[in-house]
């Protein structure tokens, strides 16, 4: 089947199931465009990236303003061994699956908005100015998996696992940082049971083309001299930087007949969170097939995202295939009730592979340094929630390393210290000390070399960061 097929039976069955699962309370599914630098991307408050080509606004447009699009749609996947009142199960909350272009993305996701807004803030003076901003444009949204809904093209009713997600996006206009957007997913277990063997990934329909050259939208083969938008994805996986990259290629032979000038830019999706001991990265791919029974059950999607293998993209050549992808990290051994994890990605653009790799290296460095606002002085703190963090003295002595933390709730909390290369040097689980002001003594610092370090406090879904200089 082609992407222009109607899929009438699948759509009819999906719509019927979806209507039966509409929650009694109304929620607002919101989309906003992050346009803070050269990357324009549609963000949502329900775990979806891109707009599914429902209109000509930026879905994932790079460079922004050129009309070069690179993503039909994508979505967050979270899989785990979970427990509810009926017992244990393997669950996946699926932000997106293969679906015909032009469908509203709100009916294609198993996530539900936790709030009716996507917030914008910036460290630039202006209407979005907020002193707590980290970049020229921060955007954030909250969503959850609490509703047992059924999504279109995904016939299995969702079984909630007790997840709440805060998605935070950062974009900078600073030289070297203007070619990527960072998407952070802070995932909290709000249920009453531990989640084990957790995997987190992004589903992607990467497909590039020049939307200004198409008279029809969504694009059809009759709408442009360039023919169908699809079946032209040249994909590659760079394991050293954990980047899945894509370029439009008209067809074989590659690269001689690709006609790269039609859509000059490369796009990459980069996994910024490095795998820890016992974890692996999965890169999966398959040919586009809405309603395919190989991926319509949670256990099938969990097996797909947890395989720990890398797709062989030589099997998906332009002109003879139409691939979709999943990039995932795991397992996280356990998320206890009240605890959270964070998994971060970057959407990276470049005119050549070398440019893309350079921009990805910068994005990785920004992540590894803890997303410190580059305009701040040493010792200043920035947060993504109502928590505060500061060294008691800055610079601090290696023999007197006290850190002040202010917590808004009784959530489980963790304090970490990173060196200037982004390597984690100290981890202190604080337990659940309760709301209020606490002083933590980091005696582990006595064994570290003098220099610049970064503190990170995680409390539930809230995060605070600060820089500190350690004296000899």
Residue pointed to by tokens 């063997």 = 197
pLDDT one-digit tens code per residue, 128-171: 888 778 899 999 999 999 999 999 999 999 999 999 999 999 99
* Dist CA 414 CA 426 (whole Å): 10
Domain 381-470 in CATH 2.60.40.3080? The answer is yes
Give all strands (DSSP E) within 249-305, no chain letters. 266-271, 280-287
Cα-Cα-Cα-Cα dihedral sign, residues 329, 197, 428, 341: positive
Residue 20 confidence class, pLDDT cut points 50, 70, 90:
very low
162 DSSP 8-state letter = -
* Dist CA 171 CA 132 (whole Å): 15
Instruction: At 29, give phi and psi (nearest 5°).
Output: -90, 115
353 DSSP 8-state letter = H
Tell me the pairing of strands 195-210 and 68-84: antiparallel
Give the pLDDT of residue 410: 83
Burial (CB < 10 A; 0-12, 13-18, 19+), residue 84, is middle
Domain boundaries, the chain: 8-368, 381-470
182 contacts 158 by C-beta, under 8 angstroms: no
405 contacts 430 by C-beta, under 8 angstroms: yes
Residue 278 confidence class, pLDDT cut points 50, 70, 90:
very high
Residue pointed to by tokens 């222009």 = 4
Q: Is the pLDDT of residue 464 over 60?
A: yes
Residue pointed to by tokens 């006609």 = 259
- Topology of the domain covering 8-368: Beta-galactosidase; Chain A, domain 5 (2.70.98)
Degrees to nearest 5, angle at CA 190 with 188 and 193:
110
Cα-Cα-Cα-Cα dihedral sign, residues 356, 165, 381, 394: negative
Q: Is the pLDDT of residue 328 over 90?
A: yes
Using the CB atoms, write b or e for 207-217: b if 16+ within 10 Å.
bbbbbeebeee
Half-sphere exposure of 91 (CA within 13 A, CB side): 24
Pick the residue with more confidence: 382 or 14?
382
* Dist CA 59 CA 109 (whole Å): 17
Measure Cα distances from 138 to 36, 46, 69, 309, 458 in Å: 8, 17, 22, 33, 19
Question: Which of these ranges, 30-44, 94-108, 254-268, 356-370, has the smallest mean pLDDT?
Answer: 356-370
Candidate ranges 121-125, 257-261, 386-390; pick with highest mean pLDDT: 257-261
pLDDT one-digit tens code per residue, 409-462: 888 898 988 887 667 888 899 998 888 888 888 888 888 888 888 888 888 888
Give the pLDDT of residue 377: 42
Give the pLDDT of residue 375: 55
How many beta carbons lie within 10 A of that of residue 125, not counting itself? 7
Q: What is the mean pLDDT of the chain?
A: 89
Residue pointed to by tokens 């198409």 = 214
CB-based contacts of 313, cutoff 8 Å, min separation 6: 235, 236, 237, 285, 323
């Amino acid at each position: 089947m082609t992407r222009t097929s109607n899929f009438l039976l699948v759509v009819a069955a999906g719509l019927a199931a979806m209507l039966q699962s509409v929650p009694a309370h109304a929620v607002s599914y919101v989309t906003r465009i992050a346009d803070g630098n050269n990357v324009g991307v549609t963000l949502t408050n329900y775990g979806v990236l891109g707009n599914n080509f429902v209109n000509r606004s930026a879905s994932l447009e790079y460079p922004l303003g050129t009309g070069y699009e690179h993503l039909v749609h994508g979505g967050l996947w979270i899989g785990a061994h979970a427990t509810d009142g009926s017992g244990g199960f393997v669950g996946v909350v699926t932000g997106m699956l293969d679906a015909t272009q032009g469908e509203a993305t709100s009916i294609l996701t198993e996530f539900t908005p936790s709030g009716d807004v996507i917030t914008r803030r910036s460290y630039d003076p202006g209407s979005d100015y907020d002193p707590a901003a980290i970049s020229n444009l921060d955007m954030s949204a909250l969503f959850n998996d609490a509703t047992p809904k059924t999504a279109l093209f995904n016939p299995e009713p969702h079984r909630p696992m007790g997840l709440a997600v805060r998605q935070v996006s950062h974009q900078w206009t600073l030289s070297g940082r203007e070619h990527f957007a960072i998407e952070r997913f802070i995932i909290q277990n709000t249920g009453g049971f531990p989640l084990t063997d957790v995997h987190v990934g992004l589903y992607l329909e990467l497909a590039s083309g020049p939307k200004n050259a198409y008279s029809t939208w969504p694009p059809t083969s009759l709408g442009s001299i360039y023919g169908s938008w699809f079946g032209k994805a040249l994909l590659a996986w760079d394991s050293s930087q954990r980047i899945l990259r894509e370029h439009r290629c008209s067809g074989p032979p590659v690269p001689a007949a690709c006609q790269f000038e039609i859509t000059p830019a490369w796009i990459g999706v980069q996994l910024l969170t490095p795998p820890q001991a016992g974890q692996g990265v999965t890169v999966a791919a398959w040919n586009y097939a809405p309603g395919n029974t190989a991926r319509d059950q949670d256990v099938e999607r969990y097996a797909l995202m947890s395989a720990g293998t890398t797709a062989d993209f030589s099997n998906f050549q332009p002109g003879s295939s139409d691939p979709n992808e999943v990039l995932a990290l795991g397992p996280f051994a356990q998320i206890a009730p009240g605890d959270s994890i964070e998994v971060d990605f970057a959407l990276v653009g470049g005119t050549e592979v070398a440019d893309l790799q350079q921009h990805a290296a910068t994005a990785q460095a920004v992540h590894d340094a803890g997303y410190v606002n580059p305009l701040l002085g040493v010792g200043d703190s920035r947060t993504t929630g109502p928590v505060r963090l500061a060294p008691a003295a800055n610079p601090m002595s290696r023999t007197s390393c006290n850190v002040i933390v202010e917590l808004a709730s009784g959530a489980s909390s963790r304090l970490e210290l990173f060196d200037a290369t982004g390597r984690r040097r100290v981890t202190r689980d604080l337990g659940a000390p309760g709301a209020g002001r606490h002083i933590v003594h980091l005696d582990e610092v006595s064994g570290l070399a003098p220099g610049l370090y970064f503190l990170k406090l995680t409390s539930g879904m809230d995060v605070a960061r600060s820089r500190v200089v350690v004296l000899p």
